[in-house]
Amino acid sequence: KAGVTQTPRYLIKTRGQQVTLSCSPISGHRSVSWYQQTPGQGLQFLFEYFSETQRNKGNFPGRFSGRQFSNSRSEMNVSTLELGDSALYLCASSFRGGGANEQFFGPGTRLTVL
Amino acid sequence: AQTVTQSQPEMSVQEAETVTLSCTYDTSESDYYLFWYKQPPSRQMILVIRQEAYKQQNATENRFSVNFQKAAKSFSLKISDSQLGDAAMYFCAYSSGGSNYKLTFGKGTLLTVNP
């Protein structure tokens, strides 16, 4: 079974631009979560989607948004990029989400904002 | 809000020896799950072990075991017979058992294994 894939793996943008990151979950998984990882703040939860619906959202500004498609693939978008958005963005998939279901992480997308 | 604290930013262990990583958490919930994740230098996060709060028995997975002290809100990870491949960043994480579908992570402990 293929693992969680994320594209692109690396991205360089400049301040003010917008970016879209993609995550393909493990086949059969319907829950996709997104996390931001930075040296200073560690791992922080962005949002979680299940069957195309956002079920939970972390404490991030509205510039961060996401969506999920009918095939469970998910995208997250960051508009008006700031230097502080430079981070490793991880997505994780699970069968139904929640603590009872193991989350499988992708390799991440390294975003650098110049 | 739930918080997870890992008080040891770095730890080191000799190959074949045992090391214990500490984690404490704060919650008012009774239904929750605790996890240890490993993130090797390649960056892919891997689940090491999981503990359901309602289970009194400590979880074990081969060389990895936990010491779950619910009253003290402590959840430590013991790695026995440490191997070079165990070198990684280890994250303790919390998840509610209800409808809050997110993981709350500690800051991590960087484990070095010396040959």
C-beta atoms of A50 and B97 within 8 A: no
Give the number of beta-carbon pairs within 8 Å between A and B.
61
Nearest-by-CA chain B residue for A36: B105
Averaged pLDDT, A71-93: 97
Considering chain B, what percentage of its residues have pLDDT values greater than 70?
98
**Which residue among B43, B46, B101 sits closest to A97, beta carbon to beta carbon?**
B101
Other Cβ atoms closer than 10 A to A18: 11
Confidence of residue B16 (pLDDT cuts 50, 70, 90): very high
CA distance A24 to B72: 39
pLDDT tens digits along A20-79: 999 999 999 999 999 999 999 999 999 999 999 999 999 999 999 999 999 999 999 999
Average pLDDT, rounded, for chain B:
94
Strand B24-26 and strand B60-61: pairing?
unpaired
Confidence grade of residue B51 (pLDDT, cut at 50, 70, 90)? very high
Question: What pLDDT was estimated at residue B98?
Answer: 72
Chain A closest-CA separation from residue B34 CA (Å): 8
Q: Which residue of A has its CA nearest to B49?
A: A102
Residues of chain B neighbouring A42 (CB-CB closer than 8 A): 105-108
Q: How far is B114 from chain A (nearest CA, A)?
A: 24
What value does the mean pLDDT take over residues A83-110? 92
Secondary structure letter of residue B58 according to DSSP: P
Q: How far apart are CA B71 and CA B89, in angstroms?
A: 27
User: Rg of chain B over CA atoms, in angstroms?
Assistant: 14
For CA atoms B46, A50, B107, A60, the dihedral sign is positive
Residue B108: pLDDT over 70: yes
Q: What is the pLDDT of residue B99?
A: 67
Among A78, A88, A87, smallest CA distance to A18 is for A78
Burial-class residue A95 by CB neighbours within 10 Å (0-12, 13-18, 19+): middle
Whole-number Å distance between alpha carbons of B103 and B36: 11
Helix (H, G, I), strand (E, B) or coil at A84: helix
Check if the beta carbon of residue B44 is closer than 8 Å to that of residue A6.
Answer: no
Angle among Cα A25, A29, A33 to the nearest 5 degrees reads: 60
Q: CB–CB of B99 and A88 under 8 A?
A: no
